[in-house]
Structure 1
Amino acid sequence: MFLRVCGHNEVQRDVGLRFGRNQETVNRKFGEVLQAMELLAADYIKTPTTQKLHRIPQRLQADRWYWPYFSGFVGAIDGTHVCVKVKPELQSMYWNRHDYASINIMAICDMNMLFTYVWNGAPGSCHDTAVLSLTQNGDSEFPLPPTDKYYVVDYEYPNKQGFLAPYRSTRNRVVRYHMSQFYTGPPPRNKEELFNRSHASLRSIIERTFRVWKKKWRILTDFPRYDMDIQKRMQILWKIL
């Protein structure tokens, strides 16, 4: 019943009819399984230790497209929006640039498309840079990379120690970054665009991971039916299965 609700976003009334149970039973069992999943998530996602971050990912080393140019890579960071149901007085806080209310989730994944860190709770109106600052200031377990390592991030994040962002366009010069710009346009025109193409290709692993998980759990993308507390707890689905 829990999987029908989360995987297909079915209402509890329909789930009860499918399994021959009343709605009270479905609601109670949904809560019990959700609580068990929260305990399971603590075992499934482990914040990488400094020793682990020093290791070179085997898939990275075996890929001639990235190695040895991104030898310091330890993961990719990005944010995504998940629909939320909020009270009318809170809508302005959670309303994002895509014109719907959401929670902004920031995650880190490795070369195997596995989440190594997930942080949620920021209102949808928050910029990615603000979410990163909130995470680093609010979570002492945030896995900062060693001095010779870094996460790849897009141009919305700062380019600083531990975070490798692409070259940005300037007022007098356009520097392409997105892969779609290279697919439909000419090949890289300079060293900055050559770097950006490889950088965007490597960073796309986090975007692919987000797409896989959103497709698997429709409750994260369709119109939400639960209050804010339940919805925040539902973010464990990013960590398991």
Structure 2
Amino acid sequence: MSLDCFRTLCHQLETTYGLKPTLNVGIEESVAMFLRICGHNEVQRDVGLRFGRNQETVKRKFYEVLRATELLACDYIKTPTRQKLHRIPDRLMDGKYWPFFSGFVGAMDGVHVCVKVTPDLQGMYWSRHDRTSFNIMAICDLNMLFTYVWNGAPGYCHDTSVLTIAQNSDPEFSLPPEDKYYVVDFGYPNKQGFLAPYRSSRNMVVRYHMSSFENAPPPQNKQEFFNRWHASLRSIIERTFGVWKKK
């Protein structure tokens, strides 16, 4: 981050989003400690040693800046407009998916994130991964940028249930235009606006996941051929989740 950008960020957080300096810690120092933790994955102890502060001060300032940054995010992070959903991604035009996935406007999936809850709520938040969690649904584009996030579902909810809750509860959720779709996996229905892969039937096993094609025979039929490239395109959301979790 350049010095001018850093100063602009500090100024906005102070004047627009309520971040206040204290007698001993200024705005710039608070934001700098916050960025060291978020941007460089440093722990509070190391940040405290770097800035000459105790861990309690680092923790308190981190949450003060976090609250202001959340308000800033509400103004700057927007769901895609209808106009953007109509536009074909540039990377799709130049890559191996064109024109076969010309209706692609994003990849959707759910991810479980651990959460601590009181004993009386554990049944609601207990997931199939044998832990309490949130089931977070997200959509990203080919640039690995989130375009939509729904983070309010308990872990017991199936991916389809989370999608239904988001559609019914959030006016910001945007369905694609009639000729566009989100690429989804088996956890979601194959319907208007959502393109899912072929499923195996009683008479035929159809491979889908990328791992099933590695060190194995190439696609054996048109269903597996479609699934192979569908899984390759949809993997963008899994890679985005991986980068986010690593942060």
Unaligned stretches of 5+ in structure 1? 217-241
Counterpart residue number, 1:68? 99
Deviations 1:160-180 (A, max 9, x none): 000000000112211100011
Pick one of 78, 97, 115 that aligns with 1:46: 78
Against the structure 1 CA distance between its residues 14 and 94, is the aligned structure 2 distance closer, same or farther, given a 3 Å change threshold?
Answer: farther
- Deviation per residue, 1:55-83 (Å, 9 max, x gap): 111110111x2100001000000011111
- In structure 2, the residue corresponding to 1:119 is in which secondary structure? strand
Measure the CA separation in 2 of the matches of 1:28 and 1:210.
28
Describe how 1:111-130 pairs up with structure 2 within 5 A. 111-130=142-161
Q: 2:117 aligns with which of 70, 73, 86?
A: 86
Please report how far the alpha carbon of residue 9 of structure 1 lies from its aligned counterpart in structure 2 after TM superposition. 7.4
Partner Cα distance (2:62, 2:241) in 1: 24
Matched residues, number: 214
What is the TM-score when the length of structure 2 is the normalising length?
A: 0.81
For normalisation by structure 1, the TM-score amounts to: 0.83
**Equivalence map 1:92-111=2 (5 Å):** 92-111=123-142
Structure 1 residue 141 and structure 2 residue 205: aligned?
Answer: no
Equivalent in 54, 69, 73 of residue 37 of structure 1: 69
Equivalent AA in structure 2 for residue 170 of structure 1: S
Structure 2: gaps spanning 5 or more residues: 1-32
Q: Partners in 1 of 2:127 and 2:41 — Cα distance? A: 25
* Higher RCO structure, 1 or 2 (CA under 8 Å, sep 6+): 1
Distance apart, 1:21 and its partner CA: 2.7
Q: What is the match of residue 161 of structure 1?
A: 192
Contact 1:45 1:115 in 2 (8 A): no
The one-letter amino acid paired with 1:20 is: G
- Residue 178 in 1 paired to residue 213 in 2? no
Cα pair 1:45 1:117 within 8 Å, conserved: no
State the partner residue of 2:11. Answer: none
Return the index of the structure with the highest Cα Rg: 2
Cα distance in 2 for partners of 1:15, 1:94 equals 33
Q: Could you tell me how far 1:14 is from its partner in structure 2?
A: 6.7
Deviation at 1:3, TM superposition (A): 4.3
RMSD, aligned CA: 1.8
SS in 2 for 1:184: coil
The Cα shift of 1:17 comes to 5.5
Superimposed CA distance per residue, residues 69-122 of structure 1 (whole angstroms, 9 cap, x where no aligned partner): 001000000011111111111112112111221111111101111111111011
**CA distance in structure 2 between the aligned counterparts of 1:140 and 1:122, rounded to whole angstroms:** 16
1:182 & 1:44 partners in 2: Cα distance? 40
CA distance 1:101–1:4, shift in 2 (3 Å): farther
Aligned equivalent of 1:20, options 52, 62, 70: 52
Secondary structure, aligned partner of 2:218: coil
**Displacement of 1:24 after TM fit?**
4.3
